[in-house]
Amino acid sequence: MKKYTDSGKKDTRSGFGAGLEELGKKNENVVALCADLTGSLKMDAFKENHPDRFFQVGIAEANMISMAAGMTIGGKIPFTGTFANFSTGRVYDQIRQSVAYSGKNVKICASHAGLTLGEDGATHQILEDLGLMKMLPGMTVINTCDYNQTKAATIAIAKHDGPVYLRFGRPKVANFTPENGTFEIGKAVQLTEGNDVTIVATGHLVWEALQAAEQLEEAGITAEVINIHTIKPLDDEAILKSVKKTGCIVTAEEHNFLGGLGESVARVLAENHPTPQEFVATKDTFGESGTPEQLMDKYGLNAEAIIKATKKVIERK
């Protein structure tokens, strides 16, 4: 089985910051808006190097989203930055009417998604954002897994004409995808080949899936790990091709099992190729304070949980 190595832990939000800064140099139509979280979103470099194209809106996310929609009129490509919670639930109607329904080319960039935000607790740990965003017609929804992929995705979405939700996180995690790799929206990345189970993971759970696959191999189970960075449009073909071989699937995400990646996959399977599926996700609950590791362990979002789900789903074949 193909092995992946961590080139050194980095946070995905820094990948966003690096991608945004690179875009700033390359494309003068790229503008950035931030709601008082410039440092947290790693937007400092863009702000410093392109002050005329950086818009500090203060703690006023609704104004930020609708302003971004207005800035597209005149050809700008606005990237908004705040935490995932304040990027989605707080401003759902602004996104729905001014961005999605109006078909505006706004990139909603959301950090500190999910439980790995950590100690701040459930008020800030949104586990519903993928569901909220994927339900909006025309919205592209992306959840990247490491620094390199987040940087590549940030650059790639500027070339996509239409609204995008880009989700990333706070903690330093393994950086294992290729440096300066290509990022193709809507195209799944198959990381390992296997025959016994398909593991479809997104975001921080991709590395966990790889760890799980290595341990499963020692137990004689080969897993096909697929990195689904784009939740919508979903790469149905890659998922169906894999499950037709393996006969079962585990989905893994740092999100509620209601409305997340798992449900999107279940729909594809139900319509095309009914297959036993287990969901590694939070189970209709809020989070709480704790370290990211403690929380991912308590809520069953790590390699151990993926292994357990794999063994269970194989029994159901």
Partner 1 sequence: MPNTQQLENFVTQVRRDILRQVHKVNSGHPGGSLGCAEFFTALYQEVMDYTTDFTMDGNNEDLFFLSNGHISPVFYSVLARSGFFPVEELNTFRLLDSRLQGHPTTHEGLPGIRIASGSLGQGMSVAIGAAEAKKLNKDSHIIYSLHGDGELQEGQNWEAIMYAAGNKVDNLIATVDLNGQQIDGCTDNVLPLGNVKEKFEAFGWDVLEVKEGNNITKVIEGLKEAKSRTGKGKPVCILLHTIMGNGVDFMMHTHAWHGKAPNDEQLETGLSQNAETLGDY
Point out the residues that are catalytic.
61
Contact between 285 and partner 1 by CB under 8 A: the answer reads no
Out of 34, 37, 57, 139, name the contact with partner 1 by CB under 8 A.
57
Contact between 135 and partner 1 by CB under 8 A: the answer reads no
Contact between 220 and partner 1 by CB under 8 A: the answer reads no
- Tell me the CA distances in angstroms from 49 to 29, 177, 290, one per residue in order: 14, 28, 36
Out of 36, 76, 120, 121, name the contact with partner 1 by CB under 8 A.
76
Minimum Å distance from CB 262 to partner 1? 31
Minimum Å distance from CB 122 to partner 1? 24
Contact between 52 and partner 1 by CB under 8 A: the answer reads yes
Tell me, residue by residue from 86 to 125, as one string, x for binding to partner 1 by CB under 8 A and - for no binding. Answer: -------xx-xxx--xxxx---------------------
Minimum Å distance from CB 139 to partner 1? 14
Contact between 218 and partner 1 by CB under 8 A: the answer reads no
Q: Which stretch binds partner 1 (CB under 8 A): 16-24, 53-61, 253-261, 305-313?
A: 53-61
Minimum Å distance from CB 35 to partner 1? 10
Q: Which is nearer to partner 1, 67 or 110 (CB)?
A: 67
Tell me, residue by residue from 236 to 275, as one string, x for binding to partner 1 by CB under 8 A and - for no binding. Answer: ----------------------------------------
The residue ranges that bind partner 1 (CB under 8 A) are: 31, 52-53, 55, 57-58, 60, 62-76, 78, 93-94, 96-98, 101-104
